[in-house]
Amino acid sequence: MKKIFLMLAAFSAILSCSSDDDSPKKEEMSAIVGTWNQYKGEVYTTSNNQTVTVYPKGCESENIFEYNKTEVNTVGYEANKDGVCVPAQYKSAKYTYDQGAQKLWYNNPDIAYKITKLTLTELVTEDSSEDRDNDGLNDVVIRYFRRVK
């Protein structure tokens, strides 16, 4: 039995060392893969040139975004009849991340999210894909995420 474990350990060590490709794309991709929670948002509205900071409240503060290598799965939380936050909404989308351009696309290649910060613990995205103040001009939305897993 000891010989089998020793051989498995040696085989694992050989496989783990067989590829030393530490390209930035792999490092960057591994940084986005994981489970994230949005803890803050900022909206810069063009109608009044003001920035409004928004913090998720209640069950919304428990929403998570799970990135794997090709998809992001979102879980939205809502209060049940007892007032306890439970998973209630599930969505999935393919995504593409261009590390060189620091842009992220979900299903729609026309809407890009600029990644302004990506570390092992924090992800910040920025986009101008919505007109939040209904003035006919798209507003800047910044979303702040922290890694939870």
pLDDT at 29: 55
Q: Which of 35, 28, 23, 145 is nearest to 98 (CA)?
A: 28
CA distance 120 to 123: 8
Domain residue ranges in the chain: 36-147
CA distance 88 to 39: 19
Q: Which of 105, 81, 85 is nearest to 37 (CA)?
A: 85
pLDDT at 100: 87
pLDDT at 11: 33
Q: What is the pLDDT of residues 8-46, one digit of tens each?
A: 333 333 333 434 444 444 444 578 999 999 999 999 998
Q: What is the pLDDT of residues 79-129, one digit of tens each?
A: 999 999 999 999 999 999 988 889 999 888 788 999 999 999 999 999 998
Pick the CATH number of 36-147 from 1.10.287, 2.40.128, 2.40.10, 1.10.4100: 2.40.128
CA distance 149 to 10: 29
pLDDT at 18: 36
Query: Is the per-residue pLDDT at 78 higher than 90?
Result: yes
The neighbouring-strand residues paired with 106 are 95
pLDDT at 1: 34
For the segment 125-138, the average pLDDT, to the nearest whole number, is 92
The amino acid sitting at 93 is A
Q: Is the pTM of this model over 0.85?
A: no
